[in-house]
Structure 1
Amino acid sequence: MDHIVTVQDAVTAFADFMEPTSGELDAIELEMPAVLADVDLLDAQIITLDRTPSELDARRIRRAHRKVLAARRALANTTTDATSAGVGA
């Protein structure tokens, strides 16, 4: 009969090395406005799942969609500016 044992030591042995680096945290912080805009759009869409969307719901979805596009555009421009300036190299 084989015994089932935990591998907790093997799993947590590398926990210090699995933490995000400061560069990764900076990248997450840079993308956070786009992520939050996506969440707002999903919230607006989820509200309309169980009912017929009203004019207010349609406006809320359009506004959230514009916010997503603006956040992604700002993120793309920021990323492009950083790589063209030589920061990303």
Structure 2
Amino acid sequence: MNPIVTVQDAVTAFADWNEPTDAELDAIETEMPVILADIDLLDAHIATLDRTPTEMDQRRIRRARRRALAARVELINHTVTASGVGA
């Protein structure tokens, strides 16, 4: 007779190894403004997929694009300052 092994035993056997490290969580937290700005930009584009963009839609896209670029610049400046590059 063959014993039946559940799939959960195989999956949870490696659960401790699949958790993100503190450094990875810190990196995600640092990049979160960029991620959220990109989501806003995608939302603005998605809203205009099925119609011709109005002037208000175009403004929303431009604002979202500026916020995404500003978030990227802020992240790069933070990264350069934290690493001490150029000092």
Normalised by the size of structure 1, how large is the TM-score?
0.83
The runs of 4+ residues in structure 1 deviating greater than 6 Å are: none
1:1-89, aligned counterparts within 5 Å?
6-84=6-84
**Cα RMSD (Å) of the superposition?**
1.7
| Structure 1 residues 30-50: Cα deviation after superposition (integer angstroms, max 9, x where no partner) | 000000000000000000001
Give the structure-2-normalised TM-score.
Answer: 0.85
Quick one: distance in 1 between partners of 2:81 and 2:18? Answer: 30
Structure 1 residue ranges without an equivalent (≥5): none
Q: Measure the CA separation in 1 of the matches of 2:6 and 2:49.
A: 43
The runs of 5 or more residues in structure 2 that have no matched partner are: none
Once structures 1 and 2 are overlaid, which stretch shifts more, 50-59 or 16-25? 16-25
Give the drift of 1:8.
3.0
Residues matched between the structures, number: 82
More displaced, 10-19 or 21-30? 10-19
Q: What's the % identity of the aligned pairs? A: 69
